[in-house]
Amino acid sequence: LSKMDLVSSTPTLFNSGTNHSQMSSCYLNTVGDSLTGIFKLYSDCAQLSKWAGGIGTDWTPVRSTGSKIHGTNGMSQGVIPFIKIFNDVALAVNQGGKRKGAMVAYMEIWHADFEQFLELRKNTGDERRRAHDINTAAWIPDLFMTRLYNNEDWTFFCPAEVPELHDLVGNEFKLKYEAYEKDESINKKTQKASEVWRKLLTMLFETGHPWITFKDVCNIRSPQDHVGVVHSSNLCTEITLNTSSEETAVCNLASLNMAHMIVDGKLDEAKIEKTVATGIRMLDNVIDNNFYPTAES
């Protein structure tokens, strides 16, 4: 550490050795489709942000605009107003007064509010439906890319009517998605996949968002696929870990200074081996000694 061969992550530098030694970098969570679930998420994110965690939240489960609210028999306003509050939580609860709160919202591309989701970072339009202080990311299954390449249609659903899609990947997702497309009892809207992609790329050029991340690739390569599903990445899109209502994923980071691993133009294998081994041991200590702000984490 003193030679800068390896550098701990910012939360580790902020908080190790304090009364609340929250040393982890990133937290990944998902939200329940109810007022209780949504406002619990705000509370959880506030705690995680307070102690310097960056947050990636999967918003796919929240029902879309116009869906039925069974408790009141009314119509839902959809997910966008709730992501707006998520944005305001990131502003209100910064990282221990040391740096800005940092959060990203993920949404699967089949969600009926996805087109509104694309506009969250736009600099024009209704400010009540904008979120300028968080990042956004599209969570895209392979099926969408196949439809795009083949110039086919894409179908949007309300997650409350197609609950299985959130947890399915690969061929199982494809079969269920196609079955829902044929189900006349389910509300849906259809658009050319190329039109959806064009709008996504237009927003990407205009605002830098949404980030493009791939659901099937992340899950097929997940070493934890026997115990759950990866629903999103994290704040910086380099971590993919399982999340559920019972589990908020936690990642612990350190940076290797590769410039210090080169001697006379060649990789110093002995030095990098020693540095990495020491760094991994240190990260194991972070896991054991960490202060975790929520029970799920």
Helix axes 142-149, 170-182, angle to 10 degrees: 70
284: part of which helix (H) or strand (E)?
helix 269-289
Q: Alpha-carbon dihedral of residues 197, 202, 208, 212, nearest 10 degrees?
A: 0
- 40 bridge partner residues: none
| Sign of the four-CA dihedral 211, 215, 221, 222 | positive
User: Which SS3 state, helix, strand or coil, does residue 294 take?
Assistant: coil
Which residue shows structure tokens 């959880």? 44
Q: Which of 168, 292, 180, 294 is nearest to 231 (CA)?
A: 168
Active centre residues (catalytic):
234, 236, 238
Q: Nearest-CA neighbor of 38 among 60, 13, 12, 7?
A: 60
Q: Which helix (H) or strand (E) holds 139?
A: strand 135-140
